[in-house]
Structure 1
């Protein structure tokens, strides 16, 4: 069985998605719809921004979302089919669209509310993030809990990779501890301490902004796996609350992959910029197929 995965913030790069809509011009309509709802030119943001400009939360989130969606739609035109979806952090919103939980218009309305709320929270509470490698997740969590300044383990990506978030002072403090432990610490290209308590004001604003959005049941035959629960999500009665909580909750991606594998999925196709999730899948699971589709070249090389 096949699952579609979707990239998160930090994977963005200028020009992502461009050759897809050049080879499939009809998919340019996705950029048009997004631009109208955002009130900004998504093509200019995605294709003409510098790397620094694109890294801004209000730019990165809609740009990565759009690139992920056009990659999926281009693959679908060539015969790609899937039985489940999952995304990493921001990628969960492309997954909502892919599962039929949100319409294209509504996913842009939701991401507009999310990126603006998170951008404002990041301005109110300065924060940053880093990936810690070669240290067990429990040790990462323990070091963060003991730090003088605020730091927290927020993305559990694999047994050997955990992302931390916190104040600049907190991340600097624990980074020194991890380096003494011979760990590798890599700063991330993000503008705030996402999935941490520093995003609480964003959670509150987002909840209010999306209270009237229609979150539907997934399309028949499609499973949706959640970062917050780390497993298949089945109770959609309070879905706006779940997605609000998603902003301040850890991403339980390791648990998610374990649940997906136990449910019998053996083919993982990542859509959107980069191949971070493809790498995580290959390191975490055995006897599976995993590859990414991020441009016309990788699309042409895929077989469905």
Structure 2
């Protein structure tokens, strides 16, 4: 195993943090909250106060990789949020394991957050809903996860432990702050009251490496394991954030409903006599695609943005 990158992560992250501090005005150089914006949720950057505000492309940040995924702008936005002018940094887009990056690079920005002194990370994503009670557009506050790639060794803490950040064997039973989850529900009620158009659930997120969407059998297996949602991000960032001692609050926006039904067999009486086109349409019913994910994200993103902003305004940092 090549551990050269892992062994120098602390030094590299320190140098990146120092670079950012040099180019940021004093009021923005010490953010306390980091917000990671998932697919179609880059509009969260619009919740930042107009001034002061600094945007930096990932390509201009030493050590950062560029995101290659549609819906991920790939930029840092430093600014202040709400009437209390809470200093925050937004990661508009993320890099993913399926893009071919090692886990150490996927989570590099989280390490930089730790060096910058960030104490709380709010992580968002677009996800497929496995729980039949979820509807497209619902918001889910994560209270646990299944790290499926981690079962077979693709864990961001593999390799030499970086003691400057945390312990060799961090526990994750407390990964999702109960204090912050309670605050999320309180802020949701304050913001939306009895409005039934948007729902806030709590649930378990299953992380898969991607980039393929899940098969029907995989969706059923994940549901059997206790997953309410499935996606291709977030968990590596959370693992590293907890390794660094940061508090975590995470949200999924349900942008499609996973197909759990087994479907027809080739000898099913119901399909005999159907045309080729009708068979293809039958099989593709409910199939996920990235364009639909982005569209659903756009439709519900304003409420997600408003909720995150309300939480930050209600938060004691």
TM-score (norm 2): 0.31
Task: Name the structure where strand makes up a greater proportion of residues.
Answer: 2
In our comparison, the structure showing a higher alpha carbon Rg is 2
Task: Name the structure where helix makes up a greater proportion of residues.
Answer: 1
